Amino acid sequence: MSNTSKLVLIRHGQSTYNEKNLFTGWQDVELTQQGIQEAHECTMLMKDISFTHAFTSKLKRAKNTLEIVLKDLNQNVNIVENLALNERDYGNLVGQNKLEAAQNFGEEQVQIWRRSYDTPPPNGESLKMTADRSIPYFQNKIEPLLNNNNNIIISAHGNSIRSIVMYLHGFDNEQILKTEIGWCEPWVYTFTNGEKTDFKIMPRKDSKSNSHLPGMLKSKVL
C-alpha cells in the first residue's frame, strides 16, 4: 500500500512593512488588512486538504496567516513554531525604505545584498545563511513526516520558503535567485512513499501569480 502526503508552503500575507516598501527581516510586524484578506482568500484553495501538522516561524505575520487559514478551514491542528523558519535577517537594513537604502548605500550594493546568494547586509544574513538553518530543520523535523500519510502546512517567509524550495527542487545558487514566492499562494507538493511526485502553485482567485520558478511551465500555475 502506498503512502501519500501533501506539503503546502505558504508565504504570509502583506505586512505593514511590505506596504511601506521597508526591509522587514526579523522585525515582528503585523499583517495589513490586505494581508489578512489574502490569507482568507488562499484558504479556499486548500479546502480539500485535511492537515495533520502545521509549522510556522516565530514572527506574527506568518503565525497570524496560519491561524487564519486553519480557522477558516475549521481544522484544529497543533502548531509548531521555530525560528529556523524565520525570514532572512536584513541586519542594519531593517526598517529602511528600499529606495532610500539604494540612495544611501548605492543601488548596486543594495542589489547585491538583496539578490546575491552568499553576501549578507551589515549584521544580517545572506540567503545561504538562511538556508543553512531552514533546510536542516526541514530535513530533521518535517521531511520524515512525509512518509506516513501526513498533510503538512508551513506558513513562513519569502526567503525561508525559498530555502526549502531550493532543497525540494535541487536548485543551485543561480536557480534559487530566480525563484519568487508570492504572498498567500500555496505551493502544493504531493509525496508518494516519501518521494515527490507532483507539484503545483495555486494563485488566489482573480489575482495574478507573483510566484516563479526558473523554467516553470505555465500549466504548473493553476
Give the catalytic positions in this structure: 12, 87
Which residues sit opposite 195 in a β-bridge? 192
d(CA 104, CA 83) in angstroms, rounded, equals: 30
In sequence order, the β-bridge partners of residue 150 are: none
- In DSSP notation, 165-219 reads HHHHHT--HHHHHT-B--BT--EEEEEETTEEEEEEE-PPTTS----B-TT--GG
Q: 152-170 in b/e burial notation, b at 16+ Cβ within 10 A?
A: bbbbbbbbbbbbbbbbbbe
